[in-house]
Amino acid sequence: MLRTVVLISGHGSNLRAFLGACADGTVPATVVAVGADSEAPGLEHARSAGIPVFVEPLERGVDRDAWGDRLADVVESCAPDLVILSGFMRVLPPTFVHRFAPMIINTHPSFLPEFPGAHAVRDASAAGVTETGASVIVVDDGVDTGPILAQRRVPVLDGDTETVLHDRIKIVERELLAEVVRDLAARGSAVLQEN
């Protein structure tokens, strides 16, 4: 079982799905804590499952490296095998990434390297593409630039609102994340070095 810390920033629907997959045994992982950069609504999914939560706010004017160190200290205190960013909307400083690399992965709602960054679904909609995708990557020092562990295409349908499209993408994100974590549990970090 992979001891896992999940970091979120929003509603945590992907977190909720991941917790369900851990609970029903389809993913060999135990979420030992959930963290956020603010009092994110998604933390409720952890609380209701009896999982410890923590918040390390990144307030305006706060030194990002110092914030990253504080966040890393809390994450490290959970002794994770794996750190998952799932809807975590902050760029983590290299000092944080290097403390957990390569066992730090991120889900992203596009077929990277298409549409990196915080507005991937909006950007795909605006670009008028007929398909986009979902990706799971290893987090590196860049923004959505790390090695791709899994990705799959998702169709953009006529009349899609951003929310409808994002919900369709999230379903695939959740499937890809489960596949990647099963692979990591079975083959360890060798999986991450292959990419």
> What residues act catalytically?
108
Residue 92 CA to residue 35 CA, distance in Å, equals 13
Q: How far is CA 186 from CA 7, 20, 79, 117, 165, in A?
A: 23, 20, 19, 30, 32
Q: State in angstroms the smallest separation of the CB of 173 from ligand GRF.
A: 5
Q: Is 168 in the site for ligand GRF (CB under 6 A)?
A: no
Count interface residues toward ligand GRF (CB under 6 A): 15
Q: Is 125 in the site for ligand GRF (CB under 6 A)?
A: no
The beta strands (E) that lie in the chain are given as 2-8, 29-36, 53-55, 82-85, 104-108, 131-138, 148-155
Do 195 and 180 touch, CB atoms closer than 8 A?
no
Maximum alpha-carbon separation in the chain: 47
Minimal CB distance to ligand GRF: which residue?
87
Q: Is 28 in the site for ligand GRF (CB under 6 A)?
A: no
Q: Is 12 in the site for ligand GRF (CB under 6 A)?
A: yes
Q: Is 11 in the site for ligand GRF (CB under 6 A)?
A: yes
Q: State in angstroms the smallest separation of the CB of 109 from ligand GRF.
A: 4
Residue numbers of the site for ligand GRF (CB under 6 A)?
8, 10-15, 42, 86-87, 107-109, 170, 173
